[in-house]
Amino acid sequence: MKDLLRIADLTADDLTVLLELAARVEENPAFAHDLLSHRIVPMYFAKPSTRTRLSTAAAVARLGGTPVTVGPDELQLRRGETIADTARVMGSYAAAIVIRTFADTDVQELASAAPIPVVNALTDGHHPLQAVADLLTVEERFGTLRGHRIAYVGDGGNVARSLMEAAALAGMDVAVATPPGYEPPDEAIRFTATEADRNGGGFTLTTDPAEAVKNAGVVYTDVWLSMGDPKEEQARRRKALAPYQVDEQLMTCARRDAVFMHCLPAHRGEEVTARVIDGGRSLAFRQAANRLTAAQAVLYALLTDRLRGRR
């Protein structure tokens, strides 16, 4: 498996490898510190980023390499050079490519042409690095993943999709609550249901946040508004998602020891109240810290051919 473009490309064993590597990195940040010695990793960011940009740059540096961050105006793509040509050129200089952009098809084209590993650092459809960090955070908290219920409440976008796919591979009980019309894609629903059943977990898709959160050990949400949403779309989304805010009342439907998770950035007063995200049950900032170890584990696994992938 050369690339990590989406969680659904992994097997359950692959996910276990990544989580074990991430735990190893957490114990020893200098693990494989010379793997990328004298090599660069271009990081292409077409979207603003805080956690992804800094965590992947730090991961490259920990592995002994030099991260080189570029944006749309710094490459020849805007002047008509193809993605495939760009990928081939990067492949002659670099050890791997990290890309955060909009269309999944662009990332697929880049990976297809690049002779080196490509890591999806967020697209409109997927956020695999976040999901690896999320499950690492849950595993740290509870000691295991299998048998725990994780409930996602809100918009079924890229974060929800990667999270539910990863949790299904880990054998968790996955529950997703979205308003009508905001469900995850059918492909993600089918994958999650199939893999949850195969790995000893379960899957629930509902429009009722309280039903999803019932008996959950983890309650997760994400922002309601995407980058660049027009004002009319923002108003429509706020109205549809208002009943899905995670507040203290909703948290009472979960287990007494349940934790709250959020991939950040957070909009207090919209998808979550300040009392929840800033309270003692919140793991949001532990998740953010784990983005570094997750990125380091993914890069190491791809560069050393540790992942089997689905063939």
Active-site residue, from 6, 14, 51, 130: 130
Q: Is 3 helix (H, G, I), strand (E, B) or coil?
A: coil
The catalytically annotated residue of 14, 155, 222, 237 is: 222
Q: Residue 199's closest CA among 177, 216, 219, 174?
A: 174
Kindly tell me the burial class for residue 78, based on how many C-beta atoms sit within 10 Å of its own C-beta (0-12, 13-18, 19 or more). exposed
Catalytic, out of 62, 100, 148, 262: 100
Alpha helices in the chain (DSSP H): 12-27, 51-62, 83-93, 104-113, 128-142, 158-169, 186-198, 209-213, 231-241, 248-251, 274-277, 284-303
How far apart CA 58 and CA 288 sit, in angstroms, is 13
Q: Which amino acid is at 161?
A: R
Q: Is 14 a catalytic residue?
A: no
Catalytic, out of 149, 245, 263, 296? 263
Q: Give catalytic status of residue 237 as yes or no.
A: no
Compute the distance between CA of residue 39 and CA of residue 174 in angstroms, rounded to an integer. Answer: 40
How big is the chain by its Cα radius of gyration, in Å?
Answer: 19
Q: How far is CA 79 from CA 12, 87, 132, in A?
A: 42, 15, 35
Sheet of 149-153: strand order equals 202-206, 173-177, 149-153, 218-221, 259-262
Q: Please indicate whether residue 149 is annotated as part of the active site.
A: no
Active site residue 253: no
DSSP symbols for 169-204 = HTT-EEEEE--TT-PPPHHHHHHHHHHHHHTT-EEE
The answer to whether 100 is a known catalytic residue is yes
Q: Which of 53, 62, 127, 149 is catalytic?
A: 127
Asked whether 37 and 8 are in contact (CB, 8 A), the reply is no
Burial class (CB in 10 A: 0-12, 13-18, 19+), 96: buried
Token pair in block for residue 247: 């507040």
Catalytic residue flag (residue 263): yes
What SS3 class is residue 76? helix
Active-site residue numbers?
A: 100, 127, 130, 222, 263, 291
